[in-house]
Structures are given as structure tokens and as C-alpha cells.
């Protein structure tokens, strides 16, 4: 049975384990009073998407946590959990948004989107692990903004994360199709 335990749950504390060094200096989406705002002109969104897919970033893990990386280089892909530090905390109360700030798409609840403006803005991305040098992981495909705190890293494992019959709503498929057009 689910109950509202908001007032009885213990306080949670997250401590960054490192920081993202990325070519992206500003987020593509910003949370505003009216919802999400796409900070790029429409014609620049596809270019940004291509830059994300091919872009190289570094995950600089604090030296004290370097031993936790042992063995990670055996994986081709990892999951990066990070905090979108440029989201104004007062904007984390949005309930519904137009995905990617696009008014042509129907409003969705925040939990039905990948919006960074969430009650607990923990973002996750599966990336290609290119290289490990000590406490620095070089990855490809991470959209995190430079300076984003890293919360955790996990290996991507098909044994645990494969989805046989993935279903997405039409609006999500429309976005994917538009971004993947050449």
C-alpha cells in the first residue's frame, strides 16, 4: 500500500563524487515560470543533438573515490548520474511542461519527460566509455553542462537493463525522428 510519507521520510543527502568537464557551457533547456524554454533556435537543435552524440566529455572523479573506478574500463558503456546545477531551485516546482519547450507537443507531467526541472533533478545518461586514465573517464554522448556535479557512475549491463518491447508515446517518437533526420 502506498501512502504519502513525505513528512516521515529521512532527509537525504547527496554528495558529488566528481565533476563533468564538457564542451557544453549552457543548458539547451531552461525552466521558466511558463514552463520549459528551448534556449537554442529551432535550426540549432539538430546540430546540438549531433554534437551531443559525437561530443567528448571528461568525468573527473575526486581522487578519494578513484579506487571505486577499478574495473570500469572493462565496460563499453556506463550510466552517468548527474545534477543539473544551473537549474534554479525555485523552478523545480513545475508540474507539467511541453516536452523540450515545444508548444506544438501536448503538455506532459514532469515524470513523463526528460526535463531537467524536476523535484529532485537527478539526470542519467548512458554514454560510451572511451578511456580511463586514473580518476578521469573520457566519455562520448553526454549532454551534461560543464561543471555538473556527478552523483554516481554505474556500468551499463544488458543483463539488467535490456528492454525487450520498449514503448514510447507518439510525441517522444516524433522528437526522436526529427533529431535523427539527416
Mean pLDDT across the chain, nearest whole number? 83
| List of domains in the chain | 20-157 (2.40.30.70)
Pick the closest to residue 140 from 75, 56, 80 (CA basis): 56
pLDDT at 47: 67
Reported residue count of the chain is 182
Q: Is residue 28 very low, low, confident or very high in pLDDT (cuts 50, 70, 90)?
A: low
pLDDT at 75: 96
DSSP 117-174: -SSS--EEEEEEEEEEETTEEEEES--PPTTPEEEEEEE--HHHH--SS----HHHHH
CA 164, chain centre distance (Å): 23
The answer to whether residue 33 scores a pLDDT higher than 90 is: no
Percent of the residues in the chain that have a pLDDT greater than 90, as a whole number: 40
The answer to whether residue 83 scores a pLDDT higher than 60 is: yes
Mean pLDDT, to the nearest integer, of 99-107? 82
**Could you give the C-alpha distances from 117 to 93, 111, 180, 182, in angstroms and in order?**
8, 10, 24, 29
Mean pLDDT, to the nearest integer, of 63-88? 94
Pick the closest to residue 81 from 179, 175, 14 (CA basis): 14
pLDDT at 32: 54
Beta bridge partners, 35, equal: 32
pLDDT at 104: 86
Mean pLDDT, to the nearest integer, of 116-127? 88
Pick the closest to residue 182 from 57, 25, 53 (CA basis): 53
Query: Which three cell numbers, joined as nine digits, stand for 22?
Result: 564538457
pLDDT at 29: 57
The answer to whether residue 39 scores a pLDDT higher than 60 is: no
Query: Which three cell numbers, joined as nine digits, stand for 32?
Result: 521558466
pLDDT at 79: 96
Pick the closest to residue 157 from 70, 76, 53, 81 (CA basis): 76
Q: Do 43 and 90 meet the contact criterion of CB atoms below 8 Å apart?
A: no
The answer to whether residue 167 scores a pLDDT higher than 60 is: yes
pLDDT at 125: 92
Rounded CA gap, 77 and 79, in Å? 7
Amino acid at each position: 500500500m502506498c501512502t504519502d510519507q513525505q513528512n516521515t521520510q529521512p532527509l537525504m543527502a547527496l554528495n558529488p563524487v566528481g565533476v563533468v568537464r564538457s564542451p557544453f557551457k549552457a543548458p539547451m533547456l531552461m525552466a521558466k515560470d511558463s514552463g520549459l524554454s528551448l534556449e537554442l533556435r529551432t535550426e540549432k537543435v539538430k546540430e546540438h543533438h549531433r554534437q551531443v552524440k559525437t561530443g567528448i566529455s571528461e568525468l573527473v572523479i575526486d581522487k578519494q573515490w578513484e579506487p571505486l573506478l577499478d574495473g570500469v574500463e572493462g565496460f563499453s558503456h556506463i550510466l552517468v548520474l548527474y545534477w543539473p546545477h544551473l537549474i534554479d531551485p525555485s523552478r523545480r516546482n513545475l508540474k507539467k511542461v511541453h516536452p523540450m519547450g515545444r508548444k506544438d507537443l501536448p503538455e506532459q507531467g514532469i515524470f513523463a519527460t526528460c526535463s531537467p526541472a524536476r523535484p529532485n533533478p537527478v539526470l542519467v545518461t548512458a554514454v560510451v566509455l572511451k578511456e580511463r586514465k586514473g580518476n578521469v573517464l573520457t566519455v562520448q554522448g553526454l549532454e551534461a553542462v560543464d561543471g555538473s556535479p556527478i552523483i554516481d557512475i554505474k556500468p551499463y549491463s544488458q543483463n539488467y537493463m535490456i528492454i525487450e518491447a520498449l514503448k514510447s508515446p507518439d510525441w517522444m517518437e516524433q522528437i526522436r525522428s526529427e533529431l535523427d533526420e539527416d
